A and B are shown apart, each in its own frame.
Chain A
Amino acid sequence: MLQLQYFLILAAALFCIGIYGLITSRNAVRVLMSIELMLNAVNLNLMGFSNYIDPAEIKGQVFTIFVIAIAAAEAAVGLAIVLAIYRNRDTVDMEQFNLLKW
């Protein structure tokens, strides 16, 4: 029988992989992909709780749909920002995006 804990541990693993990619990757597009991984981990938590703790009125699934909508908006704006920075700086290296750094 599938337990709630399996899904929570899987979501934790996905979230930690996302954090590792977010901090260590140099390519700006890969940073956005890591953010998508973390959002998916949060979605998996919401869906697990919705199925195991609140199966009568599934509010967790409603929350997941809102998170999916906001993630789509975030991806569009984030990739537009990456494109604008690439046109200005001619690189996608995160270490060279230091205009606001003293």
Chain B
Amino acid sequence: MQIAEGVQLVTFAILSILLVGAALGVVLFANIVYSAFLLGGVFISMAGIYILLNADFVSAAQILVYVGAVNVLILFAIMLVNKREDFKPLKNGWIRQGSTAVVCAGLFALLSAVSIVTPWSISTVSPLASSVVPIAKHFFTDFLLPFELASILLLMSMVGAIILARRDFLPDNLGATSTQDSLTLPERPRELVGK
């Protein structure tokens, strides 16, 4: 790594503060649009931490896939289910939140203790200059089957998402209803399940 160690430490501190603050904002903000944009902040600071870990290709992939695809997809989902509703407060809701917070704090303490106490066998090999060529070698030699399976999985999930999210159109009523209100899609009326 060419960056000086003090600069690395300061950069790591700034990025980790940004990361934890944005993650807390994702969970705790009442407005879900703020949460979605803060989720983009989490992804971007995570890409910065990947650069600190000598992983240039994964950092670029993180920005492309997470910020460019997943975050935009979440924003579109928020716009599609854009219904302002006030959730009815649960009976004894504070018990659930409090116990969850206690369990999460305990889990964090446990994981931190394990990661501090365990003697990791740190390798002394100097890191690679570029990680692109070794990753490509892994993809086309020993990880070839999972690589191809991932493409099939992506195709399957794309077809599944289209099947799940499409609307049922009324083809015979299309001409009749399109004149009255051009902004609403004609949709087969259905009753709400279980209400």
- Report the Cα distance A86→B81, complex, angstroms: 7
Query: Is B122 located at the chain interface by the 8 A CB criterion?
Result: yes
Given the interface contacts A53-B123, A68-B62, does A92 sit within 8 Å of B53 by beta carbon? Answer: no
- With a cutoff of 8 Å between Cβ atoms, the chain B residues found around residue A13 in the complex are 20, 23, 108
Given the interface contacts A14-B19, A50-B55, A54-B123, does A84 sit within 8 Å of B35 by beta carbon? Answer: no
A51 to chain B, nearest CB (A): 4
Query: Is B180 located at the chain interface by the 8 A CB criterion?
Result: no
Q: Is the interface of A mostly helix, strand, loop or mixed?
A: helix
Chain B, residues 76-104, CB within 8 Å of chain A (1/0): the string is 11101101010110100000110011011
Query: Is B174 located at the chain interface by the 8 A CB criterion?
Result: no
User: Would you list which residues of chain A between 24 and 38 have a CB under 8 Å from chain B?
Assistant: 24-30, 32-34, 36-37
B64 to chain A, nearest CB (A): 9
Partner of B39, one of A36, A50, A66: A36
A82 adjacent to B111 (CB under 8 Å): no
User: Would you list which residues of chain A between 64 and 94 have a CB under 8 Å from chain B?
Assistant: 64-66, 68-77, 79-84, 86-93
B97 adjacent to A24 (CB under 8 Å): yes
B65 adjacent to A95 (CB under 8 Å): no
- Report the Cα distance A26→B77, complex, angstroms: 16
Chain B residues within 8 Å of chain A by Cβ, number: 89
A16 adjacent to B61 (CB under 8 Å): no
Partner of A34, one of B27, B57, B135: B27
- With a cutoff of 8 Å between Cβ atoms, the chain B residues found around residue A21 in the complex are 26-27
- Report the Cα distance A88→B70, complex, angstroms: 24
- Report the Cα distance A54→B85, complex, angstroms: 49
A25 adjacent to B157 (CB under 8 Å): no
Query: Is B165 located at the chain interface by the 8 A CB criterion?
Result: yes
A20 to chain B, nearest CB (A): 5
Partner of A12, one of B26, B74, B97, B111: B111
B8 adjacent to A51 (CB under 8 Å): no
- With a cutoff of 8 Å between Cβ atoms, the chain B residues found around residue A50 in the complex are 53, 55
| In the complex, residue of chain A having the shortest beta-carbon distance to the beta carbon of B49 | A44
Partner of A83, one of B19, B81, B111, B139: B81
> Would you list the 10 A-B pairs with minimal beta carbon distance, nearest first?
A21-B27, A73-B157, A8-B115, A12-B111, A80-B164, A80-B165, A80-B161, A79-B77, A16-B104, A16-B108
